[in-house]
Amino acid sequence: MLAAQFTKKRTWLVIPGIALACFFLAGTLGRPLHAAQAAPISKKLIKQGQNIFEHTPDKASQYVGSTLSCSDCHINGGTTEFAAPVNVAQLYPLQSKSAGRTLTLVDRIQRCFVRSENGKPVPADSPVMTALVAYITHLSQNEAKGQVPKGRGLVPVPELTGNPSRGASIYQAQCSMCHEANGEGIPGSFPPLWGPHSFNDGAGMYQIPKMAAFVLHNMPQSSPGSLTAQQAIDVAAYVHSQPRPKLDPANSKY
Ligand code: HEC
Ligand code: HEC
């Protein structure tokens, strides 16, 4: 009788005991998982990403076919308004008009590698991609999900027709002192605008209105904003008429 009562009492205690154990187990298992999700991206990875962004041919040489760094177009490490700043991670995945499909941030970066860098697609799980995504995510940390940041993309330009021969004179007078008369720039100082080390004909910058928009707001680097829209279109039309690499058809799906 006494023994039976004792057993009963123990059963009575076992149930809350199990419940308590589950609670603690869930706590210990749940906590590190939660911490990992909320953890800030490591500073080291962000720094690596920034380094790749600013010295792309050097730090990601196996994927790059030009002498262009991401930051030659995405000025100041991708932080300058209307120079296609990259504080845009919160917008992805995104339906892209030019690609005709939904792009993740990784897809978008691959697109710039294959076209703007005249290179190869970077595998999604590679250290180079992981670091670039970390850097771009870090730059986007203060942007609300889906929020289009001020200064995204490039400035609007009126629809004007470019005149390449007028553009040639503008180029000689306002661009060639940095980008050189042959358009090839000076490696490490001034990026190429055409020739074998430039972006290929699948790049956004190859489109005359896009280059004009970039130039209108950001060039000449010594006095940005000094050209008229017509001059920007003319000089873009001239640059467009010069030779450059072709997009490898095997990469056109990117
Ligand atoms: C030759 C110039 C050029 C280079 C080099 C370049 N890009 Fe771009 N990138 C562009 C242009 C132009 C756009 C489209 C801007 C637009 O149309 O609004 C773009 C768009 C992007 C976007 C999307 C921006 C948005 O608003 O959604 C990301 C992200 C990006 N590039 C990352 C990179 C990375 C990373 C690299 C280096 C590996 C790189 N780009 C190299 C020109 C370049
Ligand atoms: C004082 C030097 C200087 C002058 C002048 C200058 N640029 Fe640039 N340009 C640069 C530098 C440096 C970059 C890289 C981005 C940055 O750091 O500002 C660049 C980037 C570019 C890019 C994007 C990267 C690439 O290579 O495709 C284009 C396009 C461009 N310039 C066009 C022009 C045009 C057109 C003119 C003349 C109207 C011009 N630039 C005048 C220095 C100059």
Cα dihedral 92, 94, 97, 102 sign:
positive
Which of 166, 193, 233 to probe ligand 2 with, by most ligand atoms within 8 A of CB?
193
Q: What is the pTM of this model?
A: 0.89
Digit-coded pLDDT (tens) for 28-74: 444 444 434 446 789 999 999 999 999 999 999 999 999 999 999 99
Is residue 86 lining ligand 1, measured as CB closer than 6 Å? yes
> With contact defined as beta carbons under 8 Å apart, do 70 and 55 qualify?
no
Is the bond into 191 cis (omega within 30 degrees of 0)? no
Amino acid letter at 154? L
- Residue matched to tokens 């100041």: 76
Question: Could you give the CA distance from residue 172 to residue 182 in angstroms, rounded to a whole number?
Answer: 10
- Identical fold at 43-139 and 164-251? yes
Digit-coded pLDDT (tens) for 163-222: 999 999 999 999 999 999 999 999 989 999 999 999 999 999 999 999 999 999 999 999
Looking from the CA of residue 189, the nearest atom of ligand 2 is 12
236 pLDDT exceeds 50? yes
Residue of the CA atom closest to atom 35 of ligand 1: 109
CB atoms inside a 10 Å sphere around CB 84: 24
CB atoms inside a 10 Å sphere around CB 154: 23
Residue of the CA atom closest to atom 26 of ligand 1: 153
CATH fold for the domain made of 164-251:
Cytochrome Bc1 Complex; Chain D, domain 2 (1.10.760)
Position 39 scores a pLDDT of 64
Which of 54, 74, 120, 129 to probe ligand 1 with, by most ligand atoms within 8 A of CB?
74
Q: Across all residues in the chain, what is the average pLDDT?
A: 89
Q: Structural domain boundaries of the chain? A: 43-139, 164-251
CB atoms inside a 10 Å sphere around CB 190: 16
CATH code at 43-139: 1.10.760.10
> With contact defined as beta carbons under 8 Å apart, do 149 and 220 qualify?
no
> With contact defined as beta carbons under 8 Å apart, do 236 and 162 qualify?
yes
Is residue 65 lining ligand 2, measured as CB closer than 6 Å? no
Which are the contacts of 41, defined by CB distance < 8 A and separation ≥ 6? Answer: 134, 137, 138
For the record, the structure tokens of 245 come out as 């690499």
Let me know how long the chain is. Answer: 254
Amino acid letter at 123? P
Question: Could you give the CA distance from residue 200 to residue 206 in angstroms, rounded to a whole number?
Answer: 7
